[in-house]
Each structure stands twice: as C-alpha cells, then as structure tokens.
Amino acid sequence: SQTIHQWPATLVQPVGSPLSLECTVEGTSNPNLYWYRQAAGRGLQLLFYSVGIGQISSEVPQNLSASRPQDRQFILSSKKLLLSDSGFYLCAWNSGPSTDTQYFGPGTRLTVL
C-alpha cells in the first residue's frame, strides 16, 4: 500500500532563516506530487506540483521554491522566511492521469516568528 510522509511535523523558525520541508511517498512510482499551504481556518492553496523528476510547476509567485531530486521525494524550500510563510504545509500525491484523487500527508505546521 502507498504511504506518504512529511517531516518535520512542526517547525518554528525566525524571520529570515532558510526552510526545507521534505515529503516522500512509498509504494508507488512516478507519482504526481503537490505542495499546498493552508492558513488557519482556511482552505488549501496549491503552491507547486510536479509530474516527474526535476519538473516543477509553480502556481503562485511567492517566497518559496520546490524541487524533486528523486521520483518519490518532493522538497519545499525558502532562502529567507517571511512572517507570511507561516501555515500548515501539506504534501499530496496521485498516480497520474488515470487517477484523479489526491492523497495527503500528515502536514507540517510552520510558525515564523
């Protein structure tokens, strides 16, 4: 069965510090991968998606970047965090055009102080 992992689970970082959040998927190959951000009490905003290694599409201009160094690894990064980067970051996957449903990881709670 497929599983998706995210770490860390929680993170408190000062403004201006770098960020690296990691997402890995097990039990599938060549998944589509997604990064979402969720502000408190709000819906999910798609940040990036990837259909393959090294292929990243950005949905909104922002202070963040994403990379996919391996087939089942998706990384969200920032060089200098802003207060507005605080939120709940969710990684999701699906198995490509034949499957529409996206399955989410447990999320990372990021607080920028």
21 three-state secondary structure:
strand
Binding residue (CB under 8 A) for another protein from 19, 25, 37, 49: 49
Q: Does 106 bind another protein (CB under 8 A)?
A: yes
Locate the DSSP E strands across the chain: 3-7, 10-13, 19-26, 32-38, 44-52, 55-58, 65-70, 73-78, 87-94, 103-104, 108-112
Give the integer Cα–Cα distance in Å for 108 and 111.
10
Q: Does 56 bind another protein (CB under 8 A)?
A: no
Q: Does 103 bind another protein (CB under 8 A)?
A: yes
Binding residue (CB under 8 A) for another protein from 7, 12, 18, 42: 42
State which residue, 13 or 38, has the beta carbon closest to another protein.
Answer: 38
Q: Does 101 bind another protein (CB under 8 A)?
A: yes
Residues that bind another protein (CB under 8 A): 32, 34, 41-44, 46, 49, 51, 59, 90, 92, 94, 96-97, 100-107, 109
